[in-house]
Amino acid sequence: MDFLELNTILEEKNFPALRQELAKYPIQDLAEFIESLDEKQAITVFRLLPKELAADTFSFLSSEKQTHISSIVNEEELASILDDLNFDDKIDFIEEMPAYLVKRILKNTSDVERKLINQFLNYPDSSAGSLMTIEYINLKKELSVKSALDYIRKTATDKEIIYTSYVIDNERHLEGIVSLKELVLADENAKVADLMREDIHFAYTHDDQEGVANLFKKYDLLALPVVDNEKRLVGIITVDDIVDVIEEEATEDILKMAAIHPTDEEYLQAGTLTLARKRILWLLVLMVSATLTGYIIRGFSNTLESVVLLAAYIPMLMDTGGNAGTQSSTLVIRSLILGEVTLKDTFKVIWKELRISILVGSVLAFINFLRILYFDAVGFEIALTVSITLMLTVIVAKLIGGILPIIATKLKLDPAIMASPLITTIVDTFSLIIYFYLATIIINIPNMG
């Protein structure tokens, strides 16, 4: 977004005009504007924001900007920011802060809130407990609709959502949910118990965030209650937090599929050594595993010496095999992540990929045969060898690409690690073995040096 007008006013140091202009922007745009400024300008602009607007904007800033602002503002300003933050945003903020700032933050909270914060910080990363908020409305089923609505009006200001209320008993066991719409439309003398739905979806505090995200997607949820092992309601997860989870999980899968160790740091913020360290391990593994192809080529040195032209087609065979395997693995990984394919569908995947690979491999082999025979003007045997190898390579590549992610899932590994680089390395090995053995049979030349 272009912030030319805001930057101009800021450079002129016309702070009254800047304050008025800032109030016209959505909080997401204000956060983006502050992110674009240097540290001194960022703190100046942040202090010009009205109190409530400042807290809302703060929750959209990067952890680096949040840390800088928190370390600069005085105790009163910091307390004001924290008071206006939603509880789940406050937890996310504290999790990213250095230890010295966490101590400063906790010093400005009440004993009750400090206890709650410490409890939330003890939930495992990427668990439902680490995502939830305590800012929800709970009702007793014995309440009348009138009493329930009065209670919602009284407490709604401090709650993150009010469109759904959670019905609990005296020991906080989750019994049902009721929507605000149902309460508003019902007779005021009716009981909450008469309106609540008992067939509800919920998560346990230690459930993995990816599974929680799948529940939101499957059932089109806007919020999800979180319970402990005794099914006592301890919090809720809202859809805005799940959007962040989906982005995080997608980013993690993309990085793994590119053989890069996942990181929470932004690309431009991460150090050169950090990024290099995240990449080098997988590159070393793949480099060492790729030496297999070198051994295979040396083992068939006599074949290559007899028909040097065979070497010209090695890159095409290896690239096509790698691309074919990547296509299959990408689709299967996506289906596994979305729950469209499960372990019990293994043979269905194999059968589907086999049929696809035969069709694709046959078409590619036929076109390749004509190209080599007429455009490259080489012998029939070489064209036949290359084309049959191509078809078999595509079949093997697609089967490997379809099976490996399922094997990873079976071994409780992220299927994304079985992606392009690893599959390409495996397929290259099979491709060369098939190629040289076919050459020794079809062209009738020696196979070993």
pLDDT at 449: 44
pLDDT at 267: 58
- The whole-angstrom separation of Cα 27 and Cα 81 is 14
pLDDT at 350: 94
pLDDT at 289: 62
Q: What is the pTM for the complete model shown?
A: 0.57
5-17 pLDDT, tens digit per residue, is 888 888 888 888 8
Number of Cβ atoms within 10 Å of the Cβ of 352: 16
Query: Could you tell me which CATH number the domain at 4-122 has?
Result: 1.25.60.10
pLDDT at 285: 67
Query: Could you tell me which CATH number the domain at 137-238 has?
Result: 3.10.580.10
User: Where do the structural domains in the chain lie, given as residue ranges?
Assistant: 4-122, 137-238, 272-442
Residue with tokens 């910080």: 121
Angle (CA) 386-390-393 rounded to 5° is: 135
Domain spanning 272-442, CATH class: mainly alpha
pLDDT at 49: 87
Q: Do residues 302 and 447 make contact, with C-beta atoms less than 8 angstroms apart?
A: yes
pLDDT at 161: 86
152-211 pLDDT, tens digit per residue, is 999 888 788 889 999 999 888 999 999 999 999 999 999 999 999 999 999 999 999 888
Mean pLDDT by 10-residue block, N- to C-terminus, for the chain (449 residues)? 80 86 87 86 86 82 81 75 74 70 68 70 83 89 93 87 91 92 93 92 91 88 91 90 81 64 62 71 66 71 69 88 87 81 91 94 94 87 92 94 88 72 80 87 63
